[in-house]
Amino acid sequence: MQAVPEISAAQLFHRYDAFLLDAYGVLVTATGAMPGAAQFVDTLNESRKPYFVLTNDASKLPRTGAARYRGFGLALGEEHIITSGMLLGSYFARHELVGARCAVIGPYDSARYVELAGGQVVPPGSDFEVLVVADQSGFDFLEVVDAALSNLIRRLDRGDTVHLVLPNPDLIFPRGREHFGIAAGSVAMLFEAAIELRYPDRPHLRFERLGKPHAPIYQEGLRRSGTRNAVMIGDTLDTDIRGANACGIDSVLLHTGVTRAQVAAADGVRPTWLMRSLLA
């Protein structure tokens, strides 16, 4: 199998008209900016080429995320951020869930995404029609997950219909150099494992996954960019690169994130390019 070629940040700027970027593992970790991220964003701003951060993080509204990025030294405004939480609006409209009672696992901004989509947020121990697993932080983990699981099983035992929604399918995320944490996708898998154990004859009871690698978030980024001569820069094969490939745009896998470069060269999901870092 032919090796994936390498490219530099400077070469990317000459080749593409628009840029889509992952957040964690590309621009930031949980504790600060990635090497070269501030310079890369400055170059994007100076070039006036369209760019958008496509993030599966549904725990922060764009305004909150932009403030956090600026605190890390990145000159990035909320108009450049597209989050998986923003996809809830179209999901709720499509499934006629406006006004539905929703339990939300995640912090305050996750609940706000649900409210903006038209949902009525209720405690996880209350009767709910929709369970949204948005994030792994911002709540008492065992207390909230146990309450939501108990109520979910009660409703399913009664034969009620419950919509299970996962804006962020990520399983892990980089907390810092050589430090990782579980993400919302792993929390959803806990629910799915429990559901499978209790209802082995109902394999359809799974979460609807909205963020990368699924198409809507890429399509929104391309729509706002106004061009298909765009490249996705990410650190994870199964989300960033798989989604870009499915949308028919080029992709870059950074060496610095979740997926190791040697895996990228051997896995069936191949990026267009490999890049060592955002440093030109």
DSSP sequence for 173-197 = EEEETTEEEE-HHHHHHHHHHHHHH
**pTM of the shown model:** 0.86
Among residues 275, 248, 212, 261, the alpha carbon closest in space to that of 55 is found at 212
Domain boundaries, the chain: 86-209
- CA separation for the pair 136, 115 (Å, rounded): 19
**C-beta of residue 232 within 8 angstroms of C-beta of residue 54:** yes
Q: What is the pLDDT of residue 266?
A: 47
Q: What is the pLDDT of residue 3?
A: 86
Look at residue 263 and tell me whether its pLDDT is greater than 80. no
Highest mean pLDDT among 175-179, 236-240, 262-266: 236-240
What stretch of H or E contains 275? strand 273-275
CATH code: domain 86-209 is: 3.40.50.1000
Q: Is residue 279 very low, low, confident or very high in pLDDT (cuts 50, 70, 90)? A: confident
Q: What is the pLDDT of residue 267?
A: 58
Q: What is the pLDDT of residue 177?
A: 66
Q: Is residue 29 very low, low, confident or very high in pLDDT (cuts 50, 70, 90)? A: confident
Look at residue 72 and tell me whether its pLDDT is greater than 60. yes
Among residues 30, 32, 20, 33, the alpha carbon closest in space to that of 183 is found at 30
Q: What is the pLDDT of residue 260?
A: 53
**C-beta of residue 25 within 8 angstroms of C-beta of residue 256:** yes
- CA separation for the pair 59, 123 (Å, rounded): 17
Q: What is the pLDDT of residue 203?
A: 80
Residues sharing a CB contact under 8 Å with residue 27, sequence separation 6 or more, in sequence order: 21, 33, 34, 37, 40, 41, 53, 69, 74, 76
**C-beta of residue 109 within 8 angstroms of C-beta of residue 86:** no
Q: What is the DSSP string of 110-137?
A: HHHHHHHTT-EEE-TTS--SEEEE--S-
**Which amino acid does the sequence have at 10?**
A
Instruction: Report the chain's mean pLDDT, rounded to a whole number.
Output: 92
Does 213 sit behind a cis peptide bond, omega within 30 degrees of 0 on the bond before it? yes
Count of C-beta atoms within a 10 Å radius of residue 1: 7
Cα distances (angstroms) measured from residue 49 to each of 8, 14, 44, 226 = 17, 11, 6, 11
Cα distances (angstroms) measured from residue 156 to each of 159, 198, 209, 215, 278 = 5, 10, 20, 30, 48
**The two three-digit tokens of residue 19, written as one number:** 């840029």
Look at residue 89 and tell me whether its pLDDT is greater than 70. yes
